[in-house]
């Protein structure tokens, strides 16, 4: 057993970041940018050099099999920034009393080859993992795929590659019509596979988009040959061992043949470590204040794993997006550095998180962009610009809070500015696409 405990040198703080994805990597680099001169340790269970996740369900599925996911930073950048990167390393324990993080490298899951490092500040950037619904016959190790990391995307890509000579005979059933399931559906259709998407709600994207956007996206999928089935509840998966495929059984009795099943029913936050360490949670996510600080003063949390207060959208906000991960990373890094400097006698106020959220998705020739959140919206205006372009504007008591745009970058950009400036918009003219947006805003 190898245990290395780095004793903190008084003048040298140690910051450990658990999770090296969009939030964790950006927090580490931002810390250096802010002048953090202490020891900086970045740990992730994933073996791959940290990479961009959004392409995994999109263009990456249609690139050659041996392509690596696009790295967030070159390997040399970590060395240059003096960031110690531990990959394939699972953090197993955080002792918040003694300020010690324990992890093992090599995935052994026990104390063999274990490391323990003492920290001054700890950042949880542990993200989330796919939900596996308890459906009889469904077994993630054996007969279904998920889509969260490079390994997941490579598994689907390998399957597509193996069937490439006869891909129209490859029947993929996607359970869940959220963004990730629909993006994968579009990539699979592009490759020529046969795709059926099964959704429990009465429309696709029900949790995250307006009805106009859902209807538009569903139409584009259908025009591109995907089958979209809503109000279907999958009740079982049955295996036809002789023929090597499975049946997805719905509770209305319908059965769909699947050579492979892809689950896209949402994620649950990776918060077990934080909970064991004693930080407060809200609905399973790590609660942070506007500075990204958890209920334990020197423990921070950023990105998909957080529940936070947003000045526009209120308490217990939870956002899963790259932009949110990046902005929270910046705020946490600035505050950690601020506290480190303040410890040396130079106090200044901490930064608050207040960025307006934005998000995008690419499916076929469709670019979806969203800015703001339609929380408590009491009015929405749809602006149909052409058959392929539309935008939906959401208001709370005449105040613009969110814009969804499909193939309409102008609506997205100008809408974002209007939310930011709290600008007045004449709603009666907004729905008329002959009225110039620039004049209206």
Residues that bind ligand FAD in the complex, under the rule CB under 6 A: 18-19, 21-24, 43-46, 53-54, 56-57, 90-91, 125-128, 147-148, 180, 270, 273, 303-304, 320-323, 325, 359-361
CA neighbor of 318 nearest in space, from 278, 294, 288? 288
- Residues ≥6 apart with Cβ < 8 Å to 432: 383
Least distance from ligand FAD to the Cβ atom of residue 174, Å = 13
Nearer to ligand FAD, 90 or 430 (CB): 90
Nearer to ligand FAD, 245 or 360 (CB): 360
Nearer to ligand FAD, 44 or 395 (CB): 44
- Residues ≥6 apart with Cβ < 8 Å to 23: 125, 127, 302, 303, 304, 305, 325, 326, 328, 329
Least distance from ligand FAD to the Cβ atom of residue 46, Å = 4
Least distance from ligand FAD to the Cβ atom of residue 363, Å = 10
Instruction: Give the pairing of strands 245-250 and 255-258.
Output: antiparallel
Q: Kindly report the length of the chain.
A: 441
CA dihedral 274, 276, 279, 282 (to 10 degrees): 80
Least distance from ligand FAD to the Cβ atom of residue 183, Å = 6
Nearer to ligand FAD, 136 or 409 (CB): 409
Nearer to ligand FAD, 18 or 175 (CB): 18
Specify which residues 194 forms β-bridges with. 171
- Residues ≥6 apart with Cβ < 8 Å to 124: 18, 19, 271, 273, 274, 279, 286, 294, 299, 300, 301, 302, 305
Sheet with 366-372: list strands edge to edge: 358-363, 366-372, 399-406, 390-396, 379-384
User: Which two three-digit tokens encode residue 251?
Assistant: 């509770």
CA distances from residue 403 to 47, 155, 185, 210, 425 in whole angstroms, order as listed: 38, 35, 25, 10, 13
Nearer to ligand FAD, 256 or 335 (CB): 335
Least distance from ligand FAD to the Cβ atom of residue 435, Å = 30
Nearer to ligand FAD, 325 or 430 (CB): 325
Least distance from ligand FAD to the Cβ atom of residue 127, Å = 2
Least distance from ligand FAD to the Cβ atom of residue 373, Å = 13
∠ at Cα 188 (183, 192), nearest 5°?
145
Least distance from ligand FAD to the Cβ atom of residue 244, Å = 27
Residue with tokens 């050099």: 49
Nearer to ligand FAD, 38 or 181 (CB): 181
Least distance from ligand FAD to the Cβ atom of residue 33, Å = 18
Phi, psi torsion values for 333, nearest 5 degrees: -60, -45
User: Which two three-digit tokens encode residue 162?
Assistant: 């193996």
Nearer to ligand FAD, 210 or 369 (CB): 369
Q: Which residue is nearest to ligand FAD (CB)?
A: 127
Least distance from ligand FAD to the Cβ atom of residue 436, Å = 29
Please say whether the beta carbons of 302 and 320 come within 8 A.
no
Nearer to ligand FAD, 158 or 168 (CB): 158
Please say whether the beta carbons of 414 and 364 come within 8 A.
no
Can you say how many angstroms the Cα of residue 54 is from the centroid of all Cα atoms in its chain?
8
């Amino acid at each position: 057993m190898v245990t290395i405990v780095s004793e903190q040198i008084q003048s040298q703080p140690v910051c450990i970041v658990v999770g090296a994805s969009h939030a964790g990597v950006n927090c580490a680099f931002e810390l250096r940018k802010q002048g953090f001169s202490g020891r900086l340790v970045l740990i992730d269970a994933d073996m791959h050099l940290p990479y961009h996740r959004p392409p995994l369900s999109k263009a990456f599925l249609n690139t050659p099999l041996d392509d690596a996911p696009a790295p967030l930073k070159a390997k040399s950048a970590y060395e240059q920034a003096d960031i110690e990167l531990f990959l394939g390393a699972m953090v197993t324990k955080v002792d918040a009393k003694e300020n010690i993080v324990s992890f093992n490298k090599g995935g052994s899951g026990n104390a063999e080859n274990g490391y323990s490092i003492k920290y001054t500040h700890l950042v949880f950037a542990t993200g989330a993992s796919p939900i596996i619904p308890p459906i009889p016959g469904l077994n993630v190790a054996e007969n279904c795929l998920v889509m969260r990391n490079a390994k997941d995307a490579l598994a689907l890509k390998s399957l597509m590659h193996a069937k490439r000579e006869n891909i129209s005979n490859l029947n993929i059933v996607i359970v869940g019509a959220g963004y990730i399931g629909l993006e994968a559906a579009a990539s699979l259709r592009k490759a020529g596979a046969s795709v059926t998407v099964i959704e429990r709600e009465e429309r696709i994207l029900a949790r995250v988009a307006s009805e106009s956007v859902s209807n538009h996206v569903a139409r584009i999928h259908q025009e591109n040959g995907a089958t979209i089935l809503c109000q279907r509840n999958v009740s079982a998966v049955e295996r036809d061992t002789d023929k090597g495929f499975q049946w997805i059984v719905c509770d209305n009795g319908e059965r769909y043949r699947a050579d492979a099943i892809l689950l896209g029913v949402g994620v649950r936050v990776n918060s077990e470590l934080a909970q064991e360490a004693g930080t407060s949670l809200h609905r399973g996510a790590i609660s942070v204040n506007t500075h990204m600080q958890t209920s334990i003063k020197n423990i921070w949390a950023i990105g998909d794993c957080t529940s936070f207060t947003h000045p526009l959208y209120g308490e217990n906000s939870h956002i899963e997006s790259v932009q949110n991960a990046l902005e929270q990373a910046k705020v946490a890094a600035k505050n950690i550095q601020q506290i480190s400097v303040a410890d040396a006698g130079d106090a200044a106020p901490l930064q608050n998180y207040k960025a307006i959220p934005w998000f995008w998705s690419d499916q076929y020739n469709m670019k979806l962009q969203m800015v703001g959140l339609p929380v408590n919206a009491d009015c929405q205006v749809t602006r149909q610009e052409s058959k392929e372009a539309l935008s939906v504007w959401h208001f709370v008591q005449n105040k613009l809070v969110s814009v969804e745009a499909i193939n309409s970058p102008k609506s997205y950009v100008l809408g974002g500015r209007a939310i930011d400036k709290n600008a007045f918009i004449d709603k009666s003219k907004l729905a008329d696409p002959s009225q110039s947006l620039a004049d209206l805003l």
